Structure 1
Amino acid sequence: MTPGNSGASTPEDDDPFGYLYADGQANGAQPPSSGYGYPNSVNRVRTVGQRQYGQVPQQQGAYGQPSAHYAAPESLPGGAPTRQQPQGGGGRGRGPNTKGLLIGAVAVVAAVVIGIGVAMIGDDSGKKDDNQAGGADPTVTQSDEPAPTQKADETASPEELPKIDAKALLPGGGATLASDVKGAAADGGVYVTGLNTPGAQVTWTVNGIPEDGDYTLFTHYSTAGEDQAMTLTVNGKVYGSKLPVQNYRHAQDGDFPNGWTTTYVWPTLTKGTNTISISCEDGDKCNVLLDQLWLKKGKVTR
């Protein structure tokens, strides 16, 4: 405008930004062809509302190369701290915590193993208590003891019962007492000999049996060479198997001093008085020396 002019003839002469308004555009307002005289200005025409404020304009340059007019905020004094990108996962975030999962799985397995171990220890302790309540397990530990075909009563507690030496036994059928062979355990080294003849025998009348039941009859004797077997009779009834008077000491034929050993059987006795006899019957082998007999309650081995 110049002095004396009553007004602009066109909207753009009156308002340089008239092209931004609908009425200015209707009257033919056009944007200026220059940058309004500002240095380094550019002419970018945008529709109203298209401009996004707060964004950093992208500088033109070679792909992958930094712009000469741009500096990262963290490189400037007081700029934002650098934030490291997490490794793995293609830069799209942290992957699953596999180390934590592995530690958790190991902890669960360890807890299960410990629980099973505690349960097994508790179960073993109970079994030990049961065995202790039943008493010691009697087993044959000497090689010179027989092995009966019946099973020993492991729960029976041994009880001292009558015991007899050869001098108190009643010999018959040609059996006699002697003491020439050393090693007899009876009083004075006395033993019964002459049993190696059919019909020879010794008899023991035993008193004081506390009750009916199973008992163990022990016999101390000597034999040498071949194994022997004799007949046992209890209260007039022949015992079910032969009395095993075998050569458990492996003494040479005729070496009776080194043949002393012990055998046992499990007869059934009645309360009070019982009669026990050991005899040489047809088919028996009776070349033995016998010096002691004794009883224990129940089926035991020693």
Structure 2
Amino acid sequence: MTGVIKVLGLGDQVVDQYVNLAVMYPGGNALNFAAFARKLGYEASFMGVFGDDRESRVVKAAIDAIGIDRSHCRTEHGVNGCAKVAIIDGERVFLGSNEGGVSSEKPLDCSQADFDYIASFRLVHMGIWGHCDHLLKDVSALGVPVSYDFSDEFTDETLKAVDYVQYGFFSLDMPGYRVKGLLKRLFSPSNRVLVATRGSRSTIAFDGRRFYEMAPRVVKAVDTMAAGDASLTAFLLSHEIEGKGVEESLADAQRFAAQAVQLEGSFGFGVPIQGVEGNEDA
């Protein structure tokens, strides 16, 4: 059990509204990282911006039930981050989002106390949807290993984040030789490992010296939402915290992701879209 080790998800939290099921679930890349780390036995925290609507209360209730610390979050007047999705044959289909809601309008602003808090963690995970890129340089300077999810929506501007992180994760729908060329070109002195998932094709990782490739583990999924987040969480904890090699960490990532897709939503805690009530906390 590794409960004394603390990790932080910094950035986005949302509700995923499953329109064809009339149910919504808490999610978001940074929050999913914290939730999955908690499931794997680590002390986990989340730091981000909430709205003050009922959707935000649903997410807060789930965070508290899991045992994730959110003491350095902000609550702002406005709508919470929300994405609309449909599940078709176990596969998620995104229908649109409000681009983070209030978190994009009023991004997280860190005080010195916040930076001291961030510095207390063993690992920090951020991502392209977190609206926290303005903090990346300062967070990197704290000396805590930083992970960043570039997804498949990166641009030349967002790729500049590679220079500030130790781990980068990409979703790339391209042949293996092109993936290897991109990872090799992007790899910077600050990096430890860059990882690219390719859907039903093999995952490719690069540690600056050699490439690693692992075929996907095919399972019957209940819901593929957050499969990538589960995978990167397990990889990070195995490699960075437990000191396992890249290949063993990739195998751990596959095993945990295969478990994660057996649950509805990112990590459960679904509630009806209509008639949701929650605590009126800040």
State the TM-score, normalized to the length of structure 2.
Answer: 0.21
State the TM-score, normalized to the length of structure 1.
Answer: 0.20
Whichever of the two has the greater Rg, that structure is 1
